[in-house]
Amino acid sequence: QVQLVESGGGLVQAGGSLRLSCAASGLFFRAYAMGWFRQAPGKEREFVAAISRSGGNTYYADSVKGRNAISRDNAKNTVSLQMNSLKPEDTAVYYCAAKFMISPLEAGTEDTWDEVNYWGQGTQVTVSS
């Protein structure tokens, strides 16, 4: 069975940093672009970032652009999200996601990621003011 397991969430003060990780198993990891989503209380799930199969291309939502960095390690089947300069509005459950992509160079966009193959269980990020 496919599993995406997030870790690294927690409580941090505004302006601080967190690094989220996602460990994938049960799938051919290199065949999938990987992404991060988040869902704040009372809000819809929101696209955050994506990275291509090769790791060579990334795409970020405007809300996190310049503050977040997504990366992947295809040898370890992991994807990470480095979150800097955190704001209270970043508070949410963060989800790891996998999406099959034909092109190893395509990270995708919000529209591309309307369809997702696999989801993780989520990890809570809380940013205090």
> Average of pLDDT values for 89-111?
97
Tokens of 26: 């049960």
CA atoms within 13 A on the CB side of 37: 24
For the segment 2-14, what is each residue's pLDDT rounded down to a tens digit?
Answer: 999 999 999 999 9
Q: Residue 17 is encoded by which pair of tokens?
A: 């940093």
pLDDT digits (tens, 9 = 90+) for 65-97: 999 999 999 999 999 999 999 999 999 999 999
Cβ-based neighbour number of residue 58 at 10 Å: 16
Backbone angles phi and psi of 41, in degrees to 5: -55, 130
